[in-house]
Structures are given as structure tokens and as C-alpha cells.
Structure 1
């Protein structure tokens, strides 16, 4: 009898091979790929207590508050335009999940440090959310060269007492730049008599807002016809305020250990020119990277002494130490 392969066409051999593979890799009907006790995603959401609007496989519209205030001033939610603009920003920022999660994490580190500075300067606490929408609480640089948490341009920084040189740019200092922002906001409030208008002017400028209020013969930001960016500005600020004050209402469940916290630091002074900040940091037991993490306002690998005779105050991690050598050979004579 001739070999069976002689009589079977190649295609039949292919069919037989596939059948064998299917039988070989067939899953056990008594087992589950996910495991017998593993719940479905929507069951996890329900067990976690997620609100109906953001749980399960169905995404529902978020409710708007009946009343809302910013810096003690009532938001006119009875105005359909204002209400719909808030509705948009609330949904955009709620469902922009990854970005908003990191805003909440960073806010836990920075807002408790920013809030006391606002209070000391007589600026309402709600303005801490302005830093959030300006920069996501990061030292960003805008296309217009506005810098830092508060997005301050160079000319304004110098007007408000911040040092901006080749080696140092205090716009990158989150707390010193907060002081400068307070000066601006107080001036804007004195000009407009409204914290809402003061906040809006932070985006469009005091002159720009004043001009539009005069042209359109109104007194309130909410009554102005504005460009898209400024039209959304205050409503995004309000949406972030709502989400950060009530994160679980909008589906953000972040465990305390997952938040970012202020890091324990000590301070050391620099009163002389330092030609090599890499070596200066290493002599104190830290890396240059760590030095820059805590002092992003140092812009070069060297720094000159302040002209006013005051020292530069440098933040370092708690484990840093004074140089072991008696004389700091890294400073110029």
C-alpha cells in the first residue's frame, strides 16, 4: 500500500494540523481565564462605591451644584451661558482622568504651602486653584515665556521684586512667586472691586479686562463676550475648585499613601560666589539633581552672591550636612 501522503492533497494536511492544535490548546471548561473569584470591572467600581455617573460601563452626565461661590462672590448659575460653560469644564476636567489625578496628587504637596501665603497677604483661599489651572503646579514655560507655577513674565517678575538673572530666576520658586502673584491680585482687586474680575485679569491682563468692560458697558466678567481662552478661564478655575474640594463626588478615589507630600528639608545659606554648584552639593552629601529638585530657581551650575548682601537660602533634604572640610574650597576667594 502506498504512503497515505501520496493520496491526500496538501490542503487536507493543513486542515488536520489546525484541528490537532485546537484540540491540544482547548481551555479546561472547569476553569476561567480570569479566575473563579475575579469580579468584572463594573463590579469593582460598584464595590469601591463609585458614584453612578462614573461607574460601570455607562458614563452619565455630572450634576451641577445649585449654588457656587468664588472668593465669597456668587457665581450666576442662573445664566444659561455661565451654567453651560461650567458644565463643559466640569466634564472635561473630570473625565481627563490621568491629568486630574496628578493635579490632586501635586495639590496635596503644594496647596498647603501656598494657602498661608495667600492668607498673609489678604488674598482669598480660592486663589490657590488659580496656580493649578495656570501651570498644573509645575514649573512650566509658556509660548509667551511666562514661567513657573504662576506663569509670570520677566518684566512683571522684576516689577514684583523677583530676581531674574542668568544664574537665578525666582519665577521658578513656587513660594516666592506666590508672593509676587499676591501683589498682582491685590492690585487688580483694588482696580476692579471684584475678586472674580481680578482672577480673570490674570489671564487677559488688567488693561485688557478693563478695556472690554468699558467697550461692552458691563461690570462683571460673566457678562463679557470674550475670546475662547479667557471665556473658559474662570469656569475651569471653578471646575477645578469643585473637583479638588470634593474629589470622591467626581470619581477620584486616591489613597493617602498615593498622594504627594512636602519633603522634609533643611536650609543652608550661600553668601559668596559659588563657581561649581555640582561640587557644592556633593560636599554636602547630595547630588546636583537633588539640589535642583529643591531649588529649581538656580538656573546654572554657578551662582553669584546677592548684590544686596543677603544670602541665597538653599533648601536641601534633611540628610544633607555641612562640608567636612573647614574651608569651602568651592567658593571663590
Structure 2
């Protein structure tokens, strides 16, 4: 039976692939199960990796503890998550390792700016599987999963065209400021990490209910199942990301790395379509690099705004900027990408009582869209009929 291993003083020590396509929408459940049923399932076994003894795991966590102010404990709760990731999320581990070549330099630079532990970069894997378009059922958005009002509190801009929760640089800065606040509140990184998931009020209440105990493992019984599992999931993910070669996890080849890109500040309105046509960059590449612009279009703002492009295209963009900028607001067709690039095909089976208005509301499209996609001349439906629906990639059925 696994023992609980306390910290060795203050040593220290979770996407669809495809060319340039953004990973498919993910929420915490992509790499982070919220119920113990999943992680207690031992029916699946990892193939082709060495079965470690507890002592070997302890030594790995000891090495982590030597390098970080975060207490990286190894115990039965963390071990369950190591097993879970290696058995049921192995493919996604490969994907996030590939994506990390783009996102981790952003995270590390900002964490260093605020003098925060670099290992906090692994929180974004738990939150979004490194998908800036990830949206939870509760409306949390982006790499760091901020809800609307929290994002506004952290000075992120959200309007009809821009959502800075999806901006890798700006959302990471906001996440670092929030994590710094949580650490200053609790004076303990484990509690701060748990509070990032559950909120500071939840952690304070758990401390009170526990009789004033201030160690995460002591207040764990007083937390919700999701928050209870969050820290063990993070500790396990950090361990595996630091030791992926040991377990024969092969990173997916990165489509681009951060150092192959650069940022220009633009003062004119720009559509992704015109940039793609003028510079010969696939529109999906532009969207990958600029996920905060929601409609493939950058409107005219009072101040210059950032636009990320491959380094090799920066000079050409600057030279052609006057030809690329939009003097008037583009039409809906000009700012909409081809349907197959921004949506996925879903087949809806018509049930008794269904009608087009109801179906259109459900899938966030128009009646005309449904009729066009299905070659319908009239809106009559019959039970059992199969309808083709193109669903937004950031849409989750409730």
C-alpha cells in the first residue's frame, strides 16, 4: 500500500492534429477527470513502459522537489493520476508535448517576469490541453479558462471581435497575476493551485471546516470532488511532462514553434482572408497564431493591436500593409472562413416534435443554413430524417 510521503523540506521538488488546425475544443475533462471513477479504473494497462516501484517514483518526485518551491508530494492520490494519464490519455500527452514547443516559451517568460515557479505552466494543460479555443460548460474560456467576469477583473478585453482570454500572451499575463494573488492570499503553492480551480472562498471554507488546518491533504476531505482531484492531477502531469522519455511518450511534431513567429502592431482593420491571399499563408495558420480574433477579422481600434505572423512573412506584411488593410467593414462572407475549416459535420436525427427553428437554435445556426446544407426546398421534416449540420468547433452540446 502506498504511503503518504511528506515534502523533503523545501527542496522541491494534460487535440485534434492536422496541418495547422487548432486543437479541437477541450475543457478540463480532456486531461483532467472530475470523478474518481475514471482514475480508479484499472482495466486498462499501459503497454511498452517500465513498471516503476514506489521508490523509483519517489526519487523522481524528489528531483522535482529539488528544483521548485512547489511541494511536489507523491502519494496514492497522485499515483492514480499518473496511471490514468499513462493508460487513458497517452495520445493527448503526445499532442500537448508537441504544442508545448509553441506555448511554453510564452508561459515561461511571463512566469519569470512575475517570479513565479516555472512548473505552473503545466496548469494550462490541466485547464485546456493547450487549446486557446477551449470552452467549458460554464463558459470559462481559453488556455487558462477564465470566466467572463474574472477576465474583466483581470483587465482582459472581450467584445464582439476580440476575446483576450484566447490570446496566449495576454491571458498568460492575467493567469500569472491571479496566481500571484492566490499565493499571497494563502502563502502555500498547493493551496493556491487548488484555489485556481475552486476559488479562494472554497479553500477558506475548507480550512475553517477542518478546524484551521492549512495543509492541502488535511483539508482535502472538505473540498468538492473536482477541487480535491485538481492538485493531484497537476502534480502527476508535471511529473510526466518532466519525465516523458522515461515512459516512451513521443511528442507530436510541432507545426510551428514560438521562435519562428513575430508580432507586428497594426493600426488598420485587417481580414485574415486578405492577409492569406496576399502573403500566401494558409488562413488556418493565421487563425492558429491569432486565436483571440473571433471572426477572422481585426477591426479598427483606438490603439495599435498585435498580429502574429511567421517571421519569414513579417517584412512582406509591412511592405504590403496599405494594400491589405480594409478601408471599409468587410462583408460577412469576407470574414468567414470556409465552413469546413471552422466547423465540423454533425448528423442530427429528427425526432417527433422537432422543427427547424428548434434545431437551428440548438446548433446556433440559421434555418436557411440547414436548408442549404441539406438541399431542402421546404421546411417539412419527418421522424428519422438525417440532417447534416455544420457545428462550430467551439460549440459544445449541453
TM tier, shorter chain? 0.7 to 0.9
Q: What displacement does 1:75 show?
A: 4.4
SS of 1:272 mapped into structure 2: coil
TM-score using structure 2 length = 0.61
Instruction: Report how far residue 250 of structure 1 moved.
Output: 2.4
CA distance, structure 1, for counterparts of residue 321 and residue 236 of structure 2: 54
The residue aligned with 2:200 is 206
2:101 to 92, 108, 111: 108
Give the structure 1 partner of residue 121 of structure 2.
Answer: 128
* Aligned counterpart, 2:174: 180
Taking only aligned residues, the RMSD between alpha carbons, in angstroms, comes to 2.7
Pairwise mapping of residues 1-333 of structure 1 onto structure 2 (< 5 A)? 60=51, 63=54, 64-66=57-59, 68=62, 69=65, 71-75=68-72, 77=74, 83-96=75-88, 97-139=90-132, 140-217=134-211, 218-224=213-219, 225=221, 226-254=223-251, 258-259=253-254, 261-262=256-257, 264-274=260-270, 276-306=271-301, 309-320=302-313, 321-322=316-317, 324=320, 330-332=326-328
TM-score for the superposition, normalised by structure 1: 0.73
Give the whole-Å Cα distance in 1 for the aligned partners of 2:236 and 2:170: 26
Moved more, 213-222 or 233-242: 213-222
**TM-superposed deviation, 1:267:** 2.9
- Secondary structure of the structure 1 residue equivalent to 2:286: helix
Shift of 1:72: 1.6
1:268-311 CA-partner distances (Å, limit 9, x unpaired): 3321344x4422442344343332121011101433323xx321
Q: Tell me, which stretches of 5 or more residues in structure 1 are unaligned?
A: 1-52, 78-82
Alignment check: 8 A CA contact 1:71 1:195 kept: no
Q: 1:236 to 1:332 in 2, by over 3 A?
A: same
Q: CA deviation at 1:55?
A: 5.8
Cα distance change on mapping 1:200 and 1:317 into 2, 3 Å: same
Retained in 1: the 8 A contact 2:263–2:307?
yes
Conserved? CA contact 2:268–2:326, under 8 Å? no
Shift of the 95–55 alpha-carbon distance from structure 1 to 2, 3 Å rule, reads closer
Name the CA distance, whole Å, in 2 between partners of 1:261 and 1:290.
9
Distance 2:261 2:204 in 1: 43
Q: Secondary structure at the match of 1:268?
A: strand
Aligned to 2:371: none
SS of the residue corresponding to residue 266 of structure 1 reads strand
**Hey, what's the Cα distance between the residues in 2 that align with 1:76 and 1:289?**
41
Q: Provide the C-alpha distance between the structure 2 equivalents of 1:211 and 1:246, rounded to a whole number of angstroms.
A: 35
Three-state SS of the structure 2 residue aligned to 1:296 is: coil
Structure 1 pair 141/266, CA: closer, same or farther in 2 (3 Å)? same
Which is worse superposed, 194-203 or 285-294? 285-294
Contact 1:54 1:250 in 2 (8 A): no
Which protein is bigger by CA-based radius of gyration?
Answer: 1
Deviation at 1:129, TM superposition (A): 0.8
Instruction: Please give the secondary structure, in 1, of the residue aligned with 2:158.
Output: coil
